[in-house]
Chains A and B, each alone.
Chain A
Amino acid sequence: MKIPPSLPFFKGAMGGFEDFVHPEIYGTMIVFGFLGIPYDFRWSVLWEPPHATWIIDGLLTTLRVSAFSWIFAILLGILFGALRTVPFRPLRALATAYVEFFRNVPLLVWLFFWYFGAPEAFPESIRQWFIRHGMEFWSAVAGISVYHGARMSEVIRAGIQSIPKTQLEAGVSSGLSVSQTYRLIIIPIALRLIVPPATNESLNLLKNSSLAMTIGVAELTFATRQVETYTAKAFEAFSAGTLIYLGLCLSIASIMNRVERKFAIPGLIARAERAEH
């Protein structure tokens, strides 16, 4: 088999596969790409004993980080999103400060801050306790939920503000009580306005949970990298990770799309811009 001059580097990049690839496997080498670069596809690395567990554990960790962060982000979002619309100025200023500060700084910086920086503020004994109780995981949850909480509160504020005050007045003047107006008119409309961008934001959260790998949380991207490092099969490992993320995102998006369509009120909402986020 002809080896292109690029091989010395290629060898380095692939963790020197040439050195340990068994001659038998070498024989089954498939030419990869159109540039005549040899690459031995071995998809079986994905389900060989330790690797499959890594990937599945990674997926579960991704889901766990995302689920915790999502719950906290939604709570923070509702709290600060609502606070940004109250008439009392100091509260509004507080909420604005939170949103503007946390949303405008990269998530990666927040993760490093919550993992390396924030524990410094605590006394040694508490820090030891953190370290014993999975600090990476909770730092990641803290970082992601505070960052996405700020973004979520923008979504919720926009939803609240897009309902004109006249809706409430119209409801009350047609004989409903204030609570009935909220229950029957305001909240159903507000939810329909908020859900599409909130779904979008939740998918961003899911994708951003991949950054938790930088502080050592063994989530999906981390597991993918681990498989890649151990097997030197980057193509297979990254494909697996990519397809899992893609599957998760597309299925959530399509479920929510169906939900939106099922509950849509004709003529109420022109399809919200999915691009904005």
Chain B
Amino acid sequence: MGIGHFGGGTLRLAIPAILLGFCVGVILGLARLAQRPWIHYPAAIYIEFIRGVPLVMVIFWFWFLVPIFLGRPVPEYWIALTAFVIFEGAYIGEIVRAGIQSVPRGQIDAATATGLNYVQTMIHVILPQAIRNMIPSLVTQFIVLFKDTSLASIIGMMDLTKAAQTVSQRELRPFEMYIFIAVVYWICTYSMSRFSHWLEIRMSPERTSSP
């Protein structure tokens, strides 16, 4: 049982959590901007509530609630995944909202004036600009989520952190072990942030508009 065997646990948790969290976040972000109060307020309360509670607490809640509601034991993986999606969805929702609000209102008016309907306006005018504005915060949040997956080890899921814990207990070499996984995490997160930087430059209007 080596550490490489469990390193996959982190990725297996992080990638679906990022994808699903993003979907939940987009829905929440749009819901917060909705005109109808019965859509707007629940989303706002949900976001404010989750943002005021530590992730560990959310994980414990799901650890306790999910098996009760399903009526059978659930593997830690699914509990951790649910907790991450629910938790990160709130943060991503705020980013999506801010991104959409960062597009000037005049853009909507201009699009309407040229004869586009609401959906066309959103798809062709607002969202492309909003997503470009969101990228830095969004990738920052994905990095945060990636780091947060280490908390799954608290409820006993085998990921990189748990593996390091297990191995360092057996080998009694905690110093080297923790520095090693710190470097592994660092390589992953730092390459994500480099990628975001590259994407930002690639998608900036100065570049795309130049011949």
Binary contact track A208-223/B, C-beta < 8 Å → 1, others 0: 1011011000000100
- We find that the number of chain A residues with CB closer than 8 angstroms to chain B is 51
Taken together as a complex, chains A and B put the C-alpha atoms of A241 and B91 apart, in Å, by: 21
CB of B185 within 8 A of CB of A109, answer yes
CA of A273 to CA of B174, assembled, Å: 39
For the complex, what is the distance from the CA of A13 to the CA of B79, rounded to whole Å?
14
Contact of A117 (CB < 8 Å), options: B68, B91, B177: B177
Would you call B46 an interface residue if the criterion is a C-beta within 8 Å of the partner chain's C-beta atoms?
A: no
Q: What is the CA–CA distance of A106 and B188 in the complex, to the nearest angstrom?
A: 11
B178 touches A113 (CB 8 A): yes
Considering the complex, give the chain B residue whose CB is closest to the CB of A241.
B57
Chain B residues near A39: list those with CB within 8 A: 68
Give the nearest-CB partner of B133 in chain A: A273
Docked CA distance A101–B147 (Å) = 13
> Contact at A245–B68, with CB atoms within 8 Å?
no
A210 B161 Cβ-Cβ under 8 A: no
Given A9-B71, A9-B73: A100 in contact with B174 (beta carbons within 8 A): no
How far apart are the CA atoms of A82 and B193 in the complex, in Å?
Answer: 22
Kindly identify which residue among B57, B144, B168, B182 contacts A210, using a CB–CB cutoff of 8 Å: B57
A207 at the interface (CB under 8 A from B): yes
Interface residue? A110 (CB, 8 A) = yes
Instruction: Determine which of A117, A207, A235, A245 lies in contact with B175 in the assembled complex, contact meaning CB atoms within 8 Å.
Output: A117
Are B190 and A100 interface neighbours, CB within 8 A? Answer: yes
Across the interface, B185 reaches (CB within 8 A) one of A104, A118, A241, namely A104
B71 A106 Cβ-Cβ under 8 A? no
Give B169-209 interface residues, CB cut-off 8 Å to A: 174-179, 181-182, 185-186, 189-190, 193
Count how many chain B residues have C-beta atoms less than 8 Å from C-beta atoms of the other chain: 52
A26 at the A/B interface (Cβ < 8 Å)? Answer: no
B residues less than 8 Å from A262 (CB atoms): none
When distances are taken between beta carbons in the complex, the residues of chain A under 8 Å from B60 are 221, 224-225, 238
Residue numbers in A under 8 Å from B161 (CB-CB): 106, 108-109, 112
CA gap between A5 and B70 in the complex, in Å: 11
Return A108 CB to nearest CB of chain B, in Å: 4
Do B151 and A13 have beta carbons less than 8 Å apart? Answer: no
**B64 in complex: contacting residue of A13, A221, A253, CB < 8 Å:** A13
Would A238 and B64 be within 8 Å (CB), given that A9-B72, A214-B154 are in contact? yes
Q: Which residues of B contact A207 (CB under 8 A)?
A: 53-55
Q: Say yes or no for A2: interface residue by CB 8 A criterion.
A: no
CB distance A234 to B64 under 8 Å?
yes
Give A243 to B64 CA distance when docked, in angstroms. 17
CB-CB < 8 A to B181: which residues of A? 109
Q: In this assembly, does B78 line the interface, its C-beta being within 8 Å of a C-beta of chain A?
A: no
Q: Given that A104-B186, A112-B161 are known contacts, is A250 also in contact with B68, CB under 8 Å in the complex?
A: no
Separation of A274 and B175 alpha carbons in the complex (Å) = 37
Residue in chain B with minimal CB distance to A114? B178
Of all A-B residue pairs in the complex, the 5 with the closest CB atoms, nearest first, are A6-B71, A275-B94, A116-B174, A249-B52, A106-B150
7 interchain pairs (CB within 8 A)? Answer: A9-B71, A106-B151, A109-B150, A112-B161, A214-B154, A241-B57, A246-B52
Please report B residues at the A interface, Cβ cutoff 8 Å.
48-49, 51-57, 60-61, 64, 67-69, 71-73, 91, 94-95, 97-98, 136-137, 140, 143-144, 147-151, 153-154, 161, 164-165, 168, 174-179, 181-182, 185-186, 189-190, 193
Given contacts A108-B150, A242-B57, list 14 more A-B pairs with CB under 8 A. Answer: A10-B71, A13-B67, A13-B68, A100-B190, A106-B150, A107-B147, A207-B53, A207-B54, A213-B56, A234-B64, A238-B61, A245-B52, A274-B98, A277-B144
